Amino acid sequence: MKSTSLTLRRATDWTIRALSMIAAVVGIIFLIWILWDVATKGITALDIKFFTERTGPYNRDMGMANAIIGTLYITLLATIIGVPVGLMSGIYLSEFGRTHPLSVGVRFFANILMGTPSILIGVFVYTVIVLKMGNFSGFSGGVALAIIMLPVVARTTEDILTLVPNELRESALALGAPRWRMIIQVVFRAAKAGLITGVLLAIARVSGETAPLLFTAFNNTHFTFYDAEGPLRYVYDMNEPTSNLTVTIFQYAMSPFKEWKELAWGGSLLITGAVLLISIVARVVFKGGKTTRV
């Protein structure tokens, strides 16, 4: 009886291992296939014009310069809005309200928001901001991406701060440090690598979003800089429809023109490379320094 039971457990263990290995290999094969396809079809579009010329009519030199700059501005705005709010939320969940009933509700709704389709967030921002303003804008696109980023940063911050040993907190408080100083100078310093990783992964999460920007930033074939003298003329006007890579890729990929399709592949390669680079940097940072333990 024992021999049969041991044999069955071993057979089950090896079966699960084999299935897991097969699933991993299949996933890696498809990932390499996608990366290879994007790289081989997109590398031909990455020339000087791609980074210096703007999108526009079919019968002119075309590039993705305005879409690249617009994407950077929208992502930067989303980071400025979403990261501080997400960090503060994670601090509250980890340091002040671990067992408070409000924290249970915050975690619940954060988990729901993380699983909400991004297009619904785009429709929400369209209703709340775009319709009120009367036009699409880069600002509304940044807000939509910030909403997507917020729960990722909040939950990551909570998880990372929870890993910091309580002995560090107690030691700082015993030395007479205020609680806010203990959090900033002790807990944050111990969890620095993990927090940076969470922020980078949140940026990578939103950098490839298309659906929310269709309802918010929309698109533009021009550079929307301020039309004014002085330093502001070099600042992007976020109150106007703003060009961005993801929507441009979507529109060019659906076009009948070969040149536009090549630009779409080039934009796809650029976004894929950026997301891959951010993910690698995040993993290296996290591996290079985990939360400090005593």
H helices of the chain, where?
2-42, 48-52, 65-91, 101-115, 118-125, 131-133, 138-162, 166-174, 179-182, 188-190, 192-207, 211-215, 245-253, 258-288
- pLDDT tens digits, one per residue of 222-235: 777 665 555 555 56
67's tokens: 């879409």
Integer Cα distance of 77 and 154 in angstroms:
18
| Residue whose tokens read 């680079």 | 277
Quote the pLDDT of residue 292: 44
- pLDDT tens digits, one per residue of 192-219: 888 888 888 889 889 888 899 999 998 8
Q: Answer whether residue 84 shows pLDDT above 80.
A: yes
112's tokens: 């729901």
Q: How many CA atoms lie within 13 A of 36 on its CB side?
A: 6
- pLDDT tens digits, one per residue of 139-198: 999 999 999 999 999 999 998 998 888 888 888 888 888 888 888 888 888 888 888 888
Quote the pLDDT of residue 227: 57
- pLDDT tens digits, one per residue of 65-77: 888 988 999 999 9
* CA 119 vs CA 30, 147, 168, 207, 215: distances in Å: 26, 12, 42, 14, 8
SS3 117: coil
CATH code of 47-288, in short, is 1.10.3720.10
Helix axes 138-162, 118-125, angle to 10 degrees: 130
- pLDDT tens digits, one per residue of 95-154: 887 778 888 888 888 888 888 899 999 999 999 999 999 899 999 999 999 999 999 999
The one-letter amino acid code at 270 reads: L
Higher pLDDT: 2 or 189? It is 189
Highest mean pLDDT among 46-50, 75-79, 221-225, 290-294 belongs to 75-79
Quote the pLDDT of residue 129: 93
Higher pLDDT: 270 or 55? It is 270
Tell which residue, 95, 86, 84, has the closest CA to residue 162: 95
Tell which residue, 123, 183, 110, 184, has the closest CA to residue 149: 110
Q: Answer whether residue 36 shows pLDDT above 90.
A: yes
Highest mean pLDDT among 17-26, 45-54, 56-65, 280-289 belongs to 17-26
Q: What is the CA radius of gyration of the chain?
A: 24
DSSP tag of 231 = G
Q: Answer whether residue 240 shows pLDDT above 90.
A: no
What long-range pairs does 118-125 form, CB within 8 A, spacing at least 24? 118/144, 118/148, 118/209, 118/211, 118/212, 119/211, 119/212, 119/215, 121/147, 121/148, 121/212, 122/211, 122/212, 122/213, 122/214, 122/215, 122/216, 123/215, 125/212, 125/215, 125/216
